[in-house]
Structures are given as C-alpha cells and as structure tokens.
Amino acid sequence: MNGRGAVEIVVAVVSLEAGFFTRPTPVPPVVAAIFSGIVIMAILTTIIVPLGMKLLLKAN
C-alpha cells in the first residue's frame, strides 16, 4: 500500500467529523462539493501517478 492520497482522506474525514462541511445550515452546494473533490483527488492521485511513472520510465 502506498501513502499517496492517505493524508487527503484523513484531513477530509477529520474535517467532516468536526462539522466543517455541515455548516452553515443549509449547506451551500459548493461546500458539499469540496468534500467530494478532496476524496476524488486522493483516489485519482493514487491511481494516476503509478501509471504515469510507469509510462515515463518505459519511455527512457
């Protein structure tokens, strides 16, 4: 298992539990999208970086 994306997921979950994504009431759509964006960024980083490195190293 690699560490890419782990910090973002931890920060997102801690922020969610602290209520940063649930205030103010009602939650604006952009605030709800921030949590989703952080999780998607972490997942994509975990998937894309190894594939990109493989392609770059193969080219050399």
Q: State the total domains in the chain.
A: 1
Residue 1 has pLDDT above 60, yes or no: no
Banded pLDDT at 45 (limits 50, 70, 90): confident
| pLDDT recorded at residue 29 | 84
Q: State mean pLDDT over 33-60.
A: 87
Does residue 1 fall inside a structural domain?
no
Does residue 53 fall inside a structural domain?
yes
Does residue 52 fall inside a structural domain?
yes
Beta strand segments in the chain, E: none
Residue 47 structural domain? 6-59
Report how far residue 37's alpha carbon sits from residue 20's, in angstroms, rounded to the nearest whole number. 14
| 49 neighbors 3 (Cβ within 8 angstroms) | no
Banded pLDDT at 2 (limits 50, 70, 90): low
Does residue 28 fall inside a structural domain?
yes
